[in-house]
Structure 1
């Protein structure tokens, strides 16, 4: 069984943009995934359902508004047993905490089409500030944001009890995302 944890975190993901968004996330062209080590073996997983409210202009990143929400029950760690396990109380506790969110509080250009978003990632009611680095590239009439960020699963109480042993499941989780946006940023 694979017990993936984390990352919804991602939720987060990756980066988020707020509510009066002019751009729309294109789920069919987007993905939100993560990887971690379990007993020394890399495990990859992802989330199938997430949404975003986005207003991002690469020419004016400081005006960004973004919020991402991840349906934690949509996690896929490669099999039904692992998927059921990570929904339980010791992991994501999706009955009590069905969503993870990330809200970009600041976004700045790093140069060369690279950006950095900072803000709170909330999982299981626990809020921690994260930094997500990403690129922004046009793809036809769309804009593709691709990047990632690290998460320490134990900071979010992901894998409690016997699962807190980092020899079994590592504390480090890497969230990776590719969000395709359509539409123009509003002013």
Structure 2
């Protein structure tokens, strides 16, 4: 089968993250604005083309002060680095619907290879439009220091305010381009 283009339906998709906070809990958030295009043969995702862009200023942790701090030069420096990007360059099938998708992830002007564990959730026909819709979910972990995100504060009780490891997750609904 030939490659087909799928566009992300951001209303039915999410890119989120979580990071240990104060060594005892997790701070979670997501990005409200992002886009991705997937060019793939639905029967063989190993040669798919995947490109995603996140508007980092759209970060939402349900706390305006924290979001503003994350947008600042202490973290994402959105004034100078408004976008994060991911471009896949290697996709390996691990089992039936499970893939390892490796690509170049750029955050705050630093590009590093990152591998996502991805599940192809299948396809369906949209009953409203008749269009083909595909679902994907995935996750990875990155070390924020690898991308120059080093701001932190030491806790009185030992440890730090923000852990180095950040878990990134996504749930994607993509519609076949007409």
Taking structure 1 as the reference length, what is the TM-score of the superposition? Answer: 0.82
1:129-170 per-position Cα deviation (integer Å, ceiling 9, x unaligned): 01101111225221110010001111111243xx27561100
More deviation in 163-172 or 149-158? 163-172
Q: CA separation in 2, counterparts of 1:159 and 1:21? A: 40
Q: Residue 38 of structure 1 is aligned with which of 17, 21, 30?
A: 21
Aligned residue for 1:85, secondary structure, equals helix
Q: CA separation in 2, counterparts of 1:110 and 1:171? A: 28
Q: Which has the higher strand share?
A: 2
Query: Contact conserved, 2:57 with 2:78, CA < 8 A, in 1?
Result: yes
Q: Residue 83 of structure 2 is aligned with which of 99, 120, 137?
A: 99
Q: CA separation in 1, counterparts of 2:102 and 2:111? A: 13
Q: CA separation in 2, counterparts of 1:37 and 1:167? A: 9
Gaps of 5+ in 1: 1-19
Q: Give the structure with higher Rg (CA).
A: 2
Aligned residues: 164
Q: Does 1:120 align with 2:104?
A: yes
Taking structure 2 as the reference length, what is the TM-score of the superposition? Answer: 0.86
Q: Paired residue for 1:143?
A: 134
Aligned residue for 2:46, secondary structure, equals helix
Q: 1:168 to 1:21 in 2, by over 3 A?
A: farther
- Between 1 and 2, higher relative CO (CA 8 Å, sep ≥ 6) is seen in 1
Q: CA separation in 2, counterparts of 1:133 and 1:21? A: 22
Query: Contact conserved, 2:6 with 2:37, CA < 8 A, in 1?
Result: yes
Aligned residue for 2:5, secondary structure, equals coil
Gaps of 5+ in 2: 126-132
| Shift in Å, 1:62 | 2.4
Q: 1:125 to 1:164 in 2, by over 3 A?
A: farther
Q: Residue 51 of structure 2 is aligned with which of 67, 70, 77?
A: 67
Q: Residue 12 of structure 2 is aligned with which of 8, 29, 38?
A: 29
Structure 1 segments (4+ residues) deviating >4 Å: none
1:3-23 per-position Cα deviation (integer Å, ceiling 9, x unaligned): xxxxxxxxxxxxxxxxx9711
